[in-house]
Amino acid sequence: MADPIALLALGLDAAIGWPDALYRRIGHPVGGFARIIGACERRWNRETAAEPARRLLGLATVILLLLITIGIGIGIETAAARITGGWVIIAIAAFPGLAQHSLYVHVRPVAIALAAGDLPAARTALGRIVGRDTETLGAAGVARAAIESLAESFCDGVVAPLFWLLIGGLPGLWAYKAINTADSLIGHREPRWRAFGWAAARADDLLNLAPARLSALLLCCAGPGGWQTVRRDARKHASPNAGWPEAAMAGVLRLRLAGPIAYDGVTHMKPWIGSGKTQASAGDIVRGLQLYARACALLWIVAGGIAWLR
């Protein structure tokens, strides 16, 4: 992989993201993964099948996704290697897998609506980025949920894709995005998906092990006070990875995140992460976005350092 690829991909994502006009015209590559996953789930995840068979078919879905994404990635890199300046083509093919720009522009409207006192609009904006129930959340609950999503998505949408781009080139990045998409769609514990989505969930856990801890480190370096919370609370989360960036964000912002949460009308009594205030506000979302921007800048420095060393 040519050294400047990661930096150019980061730059393109930060500058333009994935434009709405382009999304309306051709969609997004992740949408293609979702269609493949949905087709496999409808065809193979039958309630009448035994659990071992459903697990095996879920594993087949993961393998199919990996074969497609890795194959396409290798094909693009091979073709680009024959062209002068082909590394630019690889960077252009890579940048849609990053979400610096998209994450910022989706979280910011929550803060704007809360600051204006428009709780229904804030709930609507939040509903675009989280899977939990938002209808009954108060202003503080909306703010906490937005900050939690920002922390977790910093890993899933920025650090992890870049990590796998640096490790495995274009095939590595898009293989990660395919598995992460599968986990978000079928990697759930509800009866319908528990067996079929098992392979997707475990693969996502594995691929996020290093990026989640790197995300926490970057957030702690971008603002003081987070490392103690990470050491104490990172493992309180049900996920082996999500608690790391969330604890770092909670520590730096002096907030308590997580706690009781409702999905599909069912409240889950999750432990609190952090020891600060629970009454988060629009201002705390803004501070979270500022912390996120600083952590992204540090990530640019890391990518630049790797490029220089190579």
Could you give the CA distance from residue 4 to residue 87 in angstroms, rounded to a whole number?
8
Which amino acid is residue 215, in one-letter code?
S
Segments making up each domain of the chain, as ranges: 5-309
Instruction: Please work out, in degrees rounded to the nearest 5, the angle formed at the alpha carbon of residue 262 by the alpha carbons of 259 and 264.
Output: 160
pTM for the whole structure = 0.93
Q: Residue 223 is encoded by which pair of tokens?
A: 């603002």
Confidence of residue 26 (pLDDT cuts 50, 70, 90): confident
* pLDDT over 80 (residue 309): no
Task: Give 139-144 contacts, CB < 8 A, sequence gap 24+.
Answer: 139/114, 139/281, 140/278, 140/279, 140/280, 140/281, 142/110, 142/114, 143/110, 143/111, 143/114, 143/280, 143/281, 143/282, 143/284, 143/285, 144/255, 144/256, 144/257, 144/259, 144/278, 144/280
pLDDT digits (tens, 9 = 90+) for 200-258: 999 999 999 999 999 999 999 999 989 999 999 999 988 899 999 999 999 999 999 98
Q: Dump the DSSP string for 177-234.
A: HHHHHHHHHH---STTTTTTTHHHHHHHHHHHHHHHHHHHHHHHHHSTT-HHHHHHHG
Summarize the confidence of residues 70-84 as an average pLDDT: 95
Confidence of residue 23 (pLDDT cuts 50, 70, 90): confident
Q: Which of 163, 161, 193, 185 is nearest to 69 (CA)?
A: 161
Q: What DSSP designation does 106 have? A: H
